[in-house]
Chains A and B, each alone.
Chain A
Amino acid sequence: MNIHEYQAKALFEKFGIAVPKGAAAKFPEEFDTALSQLPEGTTVVKSQIHAGGRGKGTFKSGFKGGVKLCKSKAEAKEVAGKMLGETLVTVQTGPAGRKVQTVYFTTASSIKKEYYLAILLDRATSRPVIVASTEGGVEIEKVAHETPEKIFKVFIDPAYGLADYQVRELVFKLGLNAAEQKAASKLIRGLYTLFWETDASMVEINPLITTTTDGVEALDAKVSFDDNSLYRHPEIVALRDLNEEDPKEVEASKHALSYIALDGNIACLVNGAGLAMSTMDIIKHFGGNPANFLDVGGGASREQVVAAFKIILTDPKVKGILVNIFGGIMDCNIIANGIVDAVKEVGLKLPLVVRLEGNNVVAGKETLAKSGLTITSGDSMADAAQKIVKLVA
């Protein structure tokens, strides 16, 4: 789960991480109240969406820049009016862009130098890793590729936690002066505590800055959380912004379905994540384009299949559906009956190819054939994929 920058910064403050003073507004009527909390002078206005590249983004209205530096609060208020409610397109949003539903005002810091700091899980060692760099404010992947010597990593032993010597190692390598070292050490410690205690999967500060007065501040904040741990963090769940999520994905999660919308026109309905991914792959392999990833889980109950069909059909791009079920424990005939019921219930008009395999598959195929519905049967994944690609062509 992701949260907005303004929410992440509020969380940062709770953990003693220095951030520029800021206030958020969801409606134009709130601009004055928000701005009244900041001192007069240079003010930054930041569009709040769950995507990066905001500064270089363009609004569909033609207004350029999702992050703007303004000379006065009056100018900030005017700029905020041009962002709120408008759709911002960045390199990460795709051409559809995202509607800005919150703007965040902050004071402008006097930047001495920009750095990078992040904490995430290192899969190879199964440990948290702190990643820091003297190159901030730029794309970290680029730094890692071009100047890997400017990236520093410390791996944290979960049995001991973050050790003092590791914090010292980082602040020395970043080349900070004595006052900055002290401030940065406090910030790194706070960030690790936040990462660990909130079950974050990643915290990223880009840029982390030193100020002309030897302070250290998080100028930006990106935090995402481990979905598996949300049950024990109601205070984090409360930060979820459904506006940032695809309504189809939200609906799917209510039925314990895992759904992700893609750009193609062949919808898939599959049991199991690995099989669902490879169903998308095989559609592409035979010249088609998958419209989604959809995992109905191991069971594939009738209710889930009906819900899945309904979600698939809300996507106007969909021109055909491929159902691929490996009925391991589940009886294929029960699954087939579920598919027939679902097709009747939603009044499906689009071409449908069903590939069933596993337990009692012969009876299952017979149920499909006798249903009186135009369901094409696929014998293998390859056969089924070729058939649906042909049917939507």
Chain B
Amino acid sequence: MAIFVHEKTKILVQGITGSFGARHAQLSLDYGTLVVAGVTPGKGGQFFEHNGHKVPIFNSVADAAVATGATVSAIFVPPPFAADAILECSDAGLDLAVAITEGIPIRDMVRVKRAMQGKKTRLVGPNCPGLVTPGTGPKSSGGCRIGISPGYIHQKGHVGVVSRSGTLTYEAVWQLTSKGIGQSTCVGIGGDPVNGTSHLDVIKAFNDDPDTHGIIMIGEIGGTAEVEAAKWIKANVKKPVAGFIAGATAPAGRRMGHAGAIVGGTEDTAAAKIAAFKAAGIEVAVTPSDMADALIRAAKAQNVKLS
């Protein structure tokens, strides 16, 4: 088990003929992920070929899903067209749309999120590294890699990782793998102020997944999503949880790279979030180098086996 995606999940790639989408479609194929379709309007009928794989390209998400049974899309469409690409996944009834695209106008996301309300499609992102459910092959291959994460840093196992930041996720995963601790699923939810799946949504899924024994939650300044997740953890989660918040030294009112990483008031500072983590019994990583160790401490205290 894992959350959201597993080794049998069939994925399609929107924007597979663009350089960014093509590169990562290749890496996912190399990882052993079932990339069964590509979507580029106007290029339907052509094929995306790589290392003996011949992936059919379709004009629309609906066509691709019907023809190949794909249930998940990885979106690599440029910002002006990305919101439309997400909506297309929703209307085609996919289970999951993962928007990798960085720089989508916030107003577009506000409209798309409203349009997806009550629909079955889950959105992860935008501006995110995507998801990885590691496989059992060499260097975790054979798993499901959607997005831009390096696959080889993973190892199949029982720790769930959720984060707003890409490279900080890799940092946590690498620390775990280096210590011989594998992951169930790693989810990058993205650094934008309006996104689909929240920290809390992922925490709930990890809590329900019997294969996930411990959780690392990585957040940053801006918004209050981590605080809400912490409150829910306090009331509902029995599994060991470690947390880290980036941006303790960020000045107020300045956007720190991510559109969502900006301190507006007293509620969305790193200090406020760390306090909420501590109040919820989450083991706080003192530095980013301490993320895996923090989870090991939390697991030890609860006598839970992580590997």
Contacts and interface: CB of A to CB of B under 8 A. Distances in A.
B153 interface: yes
B257 A295 contact: yes
B157 to A, nearest CB: 19
Interface residues of B, number: 63
A69 interface: no
A284 interface: yes
Given A281-B246, A329-B148, A381-B171, A274 B224 contact: no
Interface stretch (A80-88, A226-234, A334-342): A226-234
20 contacts: A121-B194, A123-B194, A123-B225, A124-B224, A157-B114, A201-B106, A229-B105, A262-B249, A274-B246, A274-B257, A277-B220, A278-B244, A278-B288, A279-B288, A280-B249, A280-B250, A281-B270, A328-B150, A357-B171, A358-B170
A153 B51 CA distance: 57
A276 B256 contact: yes
Instruction: Give the size category of A's interface with B.
Output: 35 or more
Contacts of B166: 272, 274, 298, 328
A231 B171 contact: no
Interface stretch (B208-216, B233-241, B258-266): B258-266
Given A275-B288, A281-B247, A357 B174 contact: yes
B217 to A, nearest CB: 13
Contacts of B167: 270-272, 274-275, 298, 326, 328
Nearest to B152: A359
Contacts of B114: 126-127, 157-159
B41 to A, nearest CB: 20
B275 interface: no
A293 interface: yes
A13 to B, nearest CB: 23
B249 A290 contact: yes
A278 B254 contact: no
B248 A281 contact: yes
A229 B105 CA distance: 5
A127 B256 contact: no
A277 B104 contact: no
A381 B289 contact: yes
B106 A272 contact: no
A381 B149 CA distance: 20
B256 A329 contact: no
B223 interface: yes
Contact of B256 (A201, A273, A358, A381): A273
A196 interface: yes
A138 interface: no
Contact of B220 (A141, A226, A274, A279): A274
A148 B265 CA distance: 15
Interface in B75-116: 79-80, 103-107, 109-111, 113-115
Contact of B287 (A262, A282, A358): A282
A273 B289 contact: no
Contacts of A47: none
Contacts of B203: none
B193 A121 contact: yes
Given A121-B193, A328-B149, A232 B105 contact: yes
Contacts of A385: 287
B221 interface: yes
Interface string A364-382: 0000000000000000111
A285 interface: yes
A75 interface: no
Given A121-B110, A157-B114, A359 B150 contact: yes
Contacts of B225: 123-124
B196 to A, nearest CB: 10
